[in-house]
Amino acid sequence: MDILLAIAIMALGAVVLGAALGFASIKFKVEGDPLIEKIEAILPQTQCGQCGYPGCKPYAEAIANGEEINKCPPGGTEGVQRLADLLGREVKPLDAEEKPKQVAIIDENTCIGCTLCIQACPVDAIIGAAKQMHVIIGQQCTGCELCLPPCPVECIHMEVIAENIDSWKWKYPVVEIKAAPVEEAA
């Protein structure tokens, strides 16, 4: 008789706890993978596809599934460092050449108004219409270079964004290392 009571108590406990867990899994369900969001927050959102994925989010998903972290040239070495810190992986040198920040410029004299670059721009930073001159909104341009290949007349070029007084940064204080004066031997 005792054994039956014990089994009944254990079974009741299992049912109650199971119900509690089931409730919690519905009530506190996390939408999406929080890790992917954290990775995506580090990626520079240029949507350039240089990593081989069609945008920053797909690359973030791929990283979460084990893809290398050094495939994002716009993020630079610092981006790799931050991803490594987040994921506890080893820092690797960037898989491409690191470039300074750039902006695309359309040569107004050559543009034929074909709208191909408008379709290619991932962030809608080009305005224009068929047979009208196109222009790039410099502030919105991420410098992804995706508009360069579709242009049939090669009227788009990239320009490095020069430092100005507003974007200038104070430099890291340099510690001067001087040779100690050599003492004359007595």
CB of 102 to another protein, least distance (A): 13
Contacts of 118 (CB under 8 A, 6+ apart): 124, 126, 127, 128, 134
Place of tokens 């270079």: 145
Q: Tell me: does residue 50 bind another protein (CB under 8 A).
A: no
Q: Tell me: does residue 163 bind another protein (CB under 8 A).
A: yes
Q: Tell me: does residue 176 bind another protein (CB under 8 A).
A: yes
CB of 41 to another protein, least distance (A): 8
| Cβ–Cβ under 8 Å, residues 151 and 117 | yes
Which 106-145 positions form the footprint of another protein (CB under 8 A)? 122-125, 140, 142
What span, in angstroms and rounded, lies between the C-alpha atoms of 140 and 104? 10
Q: Tell me: does residue 39 bind another protein (CB under 8 A).
A: no
Six-digit token string for 177: 């290392």
Provide the CA 13 distance to its chain's centre, in angstroms: 47
CB of 85 to another protein, least distance (A): 12
Question: Which residues are at the interface with another protein (CB under 8 A)?
Answer: 40, 43-47, 55-56, 122-125, 140, 142, 163-165, 167-173, 175-176, 178
